[in-house]
Amino acid sequence: MFLRVCNSGSSANGYAIGDDKEVLLLEAGCSFLDMKKMLDFRVDNIVGMCVSHEHSDHFRHVKEYEKAGIHVFKPFDYIDGIRISGAYSDNFKVYSFELPHGETKSYGFYITHPELGKLLFLTDCEYSPVSFKDMKVNHILCECNYDTKYVDMDAPNFRHKVEGHMNLDTCREFVRHNASPELRSVVLIHGSTATLNPSEAVQAIKDVVDPDVAVEYAVKGLEMELKKNIL
């Protein structure tokens, strides 16, 4: 299966995981047109979309996807006190869990698929209150927004930069804690090049996982294979 990154960061976020048969979209920060271009205009196999929260860089284009008939799973949405059901297919199963992101309700996703295995998706959060240590996760897409040593604590927008976002130390500890022999890849998402050195961040994660685990920093246009097993 593949992971394709339409964009990742404070301006826009959009990701796709799948194969020729089924594709699941993550985040609606990128336009449907940009997502279609990334998928070579193959939209007939999109089974749904998951959106973590309502901030514009994740939510901005959600109406475009819904207008196209794509079911969007928004776990922060309730109708008469009942949470709207998740995006899923016969193979994709999606479960949400709440994450701390300031005053905004944000959610991570635990996604399973027979060909993919088990995947964690976390963005826009200070940390994860949920442990997946015993779940034998195969893939982790985790926010790595900033490295404390690069943040100007005297800057007027200091608090905005760090509140509700995961720093490198927390990301590394999350990966280390949840890593298992089944882990195949880690992708660092929603990074800020102003307050994070991507190569240093990638190396920090490589230091806490097995040598055969692929570690990547998400940028627009990144495409990688998500393997369930080592061949």
Q: What is 27-65 written as a DSSP string?
A: -S-S-HHHHHHHTTT--TTEEEEE---SSHHHHTTHHHH
pLDDT higher for 103 or 47? 47
Amino acid at 210: D
Neighbours of 146 (CB within 10 A): 22
**pLDDT category of residue 45 using cuts at 50, 70 and 90:** very high
DSSP state of 211: T
The model's pTM is 0.94
User: What is the average pLDDT across 99-128?
Assistant: 93
Mean pLDDT of the chain: 92
What is the reported pLDDT for 154?
Answer: 74
CB atoms within 10 A of CB 19: 14
pLDDT above 80: residue 88:
no
Query: What domains sit in the chain, N to C, each tagged with a CATH number?
Result: 2-225 (3.60.15.10)
pLDDT band at 103 (very low <50, low <70, confident <90, very high): confident
Q: How far apart are CA 58 and CA 43, in angstroms?
A: 20
For residue 77, the model assigns a pLDDT of: 82
What pLDDT does residue 39 have? Answer: 97
Q: Please check the confidence at residue 217 and state whether its pLDDT lies above 90.
A: yes
**% of the chain exceeding 70 in pLDDT:** 92
pLDDT band at 68 (very low <50, low <70, confident <90, very high): very high
